[in-house]
Structure 1
Amino acid sequence: MWTRGLLAALFLVSLGLAQPRTNVRFTLDFAFQGPTAPFLLALDKGYYAAEGLNVSIDRGFGSADAISKVAAGNYDMGFADFNTLIEFNTRNPNNQLLAVFMVYNTTPAAVFTLKGRGIARPTDLAGKTLAAPVGDAGRRLFPVFAEAVGLEASRVNFINVDVPLREPALARGQADGITGFYFTSFLNLRNLGVRPEDMVIFRYGDYTQDLYGNAVVVRRDFAQANPQAVAAFLRALVKGFKDVVANPDEGIAAVRRRDGLINEALERERLLLALNTHVLTPDSRAFGLGSVRRERVERNIRAVAKAFELPATLRVEQVWSDRFLPPLAERRVSGPAR
């Protein structure tokens, strides 16, 4: 009897192992850098596979590009700026995406300039020239920032630069300022020899507390057809975040496996800046990783709709769903990351 029961159990286990995995094609918002470590470490440690998923992760080329590629079906899920998603969903009502896990509880977008450029406060940007890639989230969000500080966005000129040339454009005097993520441009400028005390930084989150940052996004049709896969992806990702917070070096090793040329010390610092400034916030500590506050999302939507002069103001359910989040107990995390 015991042998028969054991054989039956082994048979059930083998059936489970034989079940086909759900493919999930995932795009990041940018290159393989420190802040992407939780996604990559979850893959390397088999967390996605243990959830029955076959996950592939590609680098990205900006939030707007990531959202467009997910919407087009090139990817099933992605990592992208929530505000860019609001704009996309408003302009594409028949092809909307959903944010299902808020990673950056505050937007990392910022304007950087240097002392001596005549810019001491945000309104001094009037008549100045900023350099940024076309799809840069900080550039796309600039009208929201301008609205918050009482600046006419049309009075600021933008020039297009490729990502590697953004910070050099500021350091060499080719532009009065740049837009970029705080933890990216700060470290890149410092790496170019710019002293932190010579930087003038306007972090969007210091002027408008309503804006969220990057989130995990998914196509609606994929989420509807594969709700268990979306929930499984988030369970695995939470484990990746917890591991990286507990051991940042392990996360950086996962990044290095994708790009052996990274500056590990720099990327570790970038990771810690992202985690401790934008992920491990009072809200995420109170409500768990990945969560949002509904009233704040509503204000976020209204701010984006006004600044972008969008034709409609979306409901929360048109941009966000918490139905795939793991239970709060699983999403609690201690910190800060060191």
Structure 2
Amino acid sequence: MAARFIRSGYLLGFVASICLLLSGGLHAEEPTKLKFTLDWRFEGPSAPFLLAKAKGYFAAEGLDVSIDAGAGSAGAVTRVASGAYDMALADFNALVEYDANNPGSKIQAVYMLYNYTPAAVVSLKKSGLAKPANLAGKTLAAPVFDAGRKAFPAFAKSNSFDPASVKWQSVDPAIRETLLAKGDVDAITGFSFTSVLNMEARGVKEADLNVMLYNNFGVELYGNAIIAHPKLIAEKPKAVEGFLRAFNKAVKETIANPDEAATYVKKQDALVDLGLETRRLKMALKEVVITPEAKANGLGGVTEDRMQRSIAETAAAYNLAKVPSGKELFNPAFLPAKADRMIR
């Protein structure tokens, strides 16, 4: 009987040891928490981020990702710089500006989602402003932080007219398109897929608009990119790799089926207009994601020579004191394999 109790004691001790080992192993495999902020509200273009989270692609990479809405690219960069967020989607040119004004920040873009800036000049077709030179002497409206307004000198230079020849009216984003629809201003700047659809909501059809996308008029600026805090890059490179792998998978699914992808925006925010956001997503994909360069080189990457020209354009347009190095601001080391990033 005593021997039986001794054997039972050994068995219980063995089982307890195994349980401790298992619990320790499970603890070691807890997902890495990442805080991510968008550049703007939950709208169509945010679909691949929300899809990746909802379908468990981030979780499959050992990541627990929280996704918050933003209030502009400059704010998104600041959120990462402060350490409040690990990663963000932000206009690459806002990162260029931040780095020039805060040398040594070491924040880097790791995935270029928008191969071109979506910035555009939008006007009513009846106004006859069909060419950049027609804007001279006109009044344009935009928020002071608007990417199109800040990059307007690059647009003007590429089209041989003086950027000082236009007058600016600083407005809140909520009334920008309203002013144009009412004819109170001659034109506005903004992201094409934002302003065009906002104009439609105010009763002006796309067919009644002139839309001058900057990239169609000689401007080489890159657009929105995923940026990461230097501490995350240095201490958790596998987390960055995993995030991009999951996101890239979601982008390709979004391209293949944007209608399905847009439903994840609706699931995130029940108040959004699904039809409107599906159109916004499709416009973004067509205009700035599925580009000839992306088809040739794959999603997420850049070309070194164009990158440096793009940064030089930004520095000149924003009147920056220095021209940052492309190699310092864009880090391709964490991108998925090129074969996994190719699109048709």
TM-score (norm 1): 0.90
Partner of 1:130: 140
Partner of 2:318: 308
Shift of residue 161, structure 1, vs aligned partner:
2.3
Shift of residue 12, structure 1, vs aligned partner:
7.9
Unaligned residue ranges in structure 2 (runs of 5+)? 1-17
Residues 1:237 and 2:247 aligned together: yes
Shift of residue 37, structure 1, vs aligned partner:
0.2
Pair member with larger Rg = 2
Residues 1:180 and 2:190 aligned together: yes
Please tell me whether the aligned partners of residues 88 and 96 of structure 1 are also in contact (alpha carbons under 8 angstroms).
no
Shift of residue 13, structure 1, vs aligned partner:
11
SS at match of 2:77: helix
The CA distance in 2 between the partners of 1:202 and 1:248, in whole Å, is 25
Shift of residue 206, structure 1, vs aligned partner:
1.0
Amino acid at match of 2:297: F
The CA distance in 2 between the partners of 1:198 and 1:250, in whole Å, is 29
Please tell me whether the aligned partners of residues 109 and 227 of structure 2 are also in contact (alpha carbons under 8 angstroms).
yes
The percent of aligned pairs where both chains have the same amino acid is 46
Query: Which residue among 212, 229, 235 is the counterpart of 1:225?
Result: 235
Please tell me whether the aligned partners of residues 99 and 321 of structure 1 are also in contact (alpha carbons under 8 angstroms).
yes
Shift of residue 30, structure 1, vs aligned partner:
0.9
The CA distance in 2 between the partners of 1:101 and 1:228, in whole Å, is 15
Shift of residue 333, structure 1, vs aligned partner:
2.9
The CA distance in 2 between the partners of 1:228 and 1:185, in whole Å, is 38
Partner of 2:266: 256
Amino acid at match of 1:268: T
Partner of 1:66: 76
Q: Which moved more, 1:16-25 or 1:186-195?
A: 16-25
User: Over residues 255-301 of structure 1, what are the superposed CA-to-partner deviations in whole Å (9 max), with x where a residue is unaligned?
Assistant: 00121121111111111111122111121112111011111101111
RMSD (Å), alpha carbons: 2.0
Partner of 1:319: 329
Partner of 2:340: 330
Partner of 1:44: 54
Partner of 2:168: 158
Q: Which moved more, 1:39-48 or 1:148-157?
A: 148-157
The CA distance in 2 between the partners of 1:147 and 1:119, in whole Å, is 17
Amino acid at match of 2:169: I
Q: Which moved more, 1:42-51 or 1:300-309?
A: 300-309
Please tell me whether the aligned partners of residues 65 and 135 of structure 1 are also in contact (alpha carbons under 8 angstroms).
no
Task: State the 4+ residue runs in structure 1 displaced beyond 4 angstroms.
Answer: 11-14
SS at match of 1:111: strand
The CA distance in 1 between the partners of 2:308 and 2:37, in whole Å, is 27
Partner of 1:268: 278
Shift of residue 14, structure 1, vs aligned partner:
8.7
SS at match of 2:100: helix
The CA distance in 1 between the partners of 2:267 and 2:277, in whole Å, is 13
Residues 1:198 and 2:200 aligned together: no
Shift of residue 102, structure 1, vs aligned partner:
0.6
Partner of 1:28: 38
Shift of residue 94, structure 1, vs aligned partner:
2.5
Please tell me whether the aligned partners of residues 170 and 176 of structure 1 are also in contact (alpha carbons under 8 angstroms).
yes
The CA distance in 1 between the partners of 2:23 and 2:115, in whole Å, is 40
Aligned pair in 2 of structure 1 residues 188, 16: CA closer, same or farther (>3 Å)?
same
Amino acid at match of 1:24: L
The CA distance in 1 between the partners of 2:277 and 2:74, in whole Å, is 24
Residues 1:114 and 2:160 aligned together: no
SS at match of 1:178: strand
Aligned pair in 2 of structure 1 residues 40, 13: CA closer, same or farther (>3 Å)?
farther
Partner of 1:216: 226
The CA distance in 2 between the partners of 1:257 and 1:113, in whole Å, is 34
Unaligned residue ranges in structure 1 (runs of 5+)? 1-7
SS at match of 1:159: strand
Aligned residues: 325
The CA distance in 1 between the partners of 2:43 and 2:292, in whole Å, is 25
User: Over residues 177-205 of structure 1, what are the superposed CA-to-partner deviations in whole Å (9 max), with x where a residue is unaligned?
Assistant: 11111112112212322132321221100
Amino acid at match of 2:327: E
Shift of residue 209, structure 1, vs aligned partner:
4.6
Amino acid at match of 1:228: K
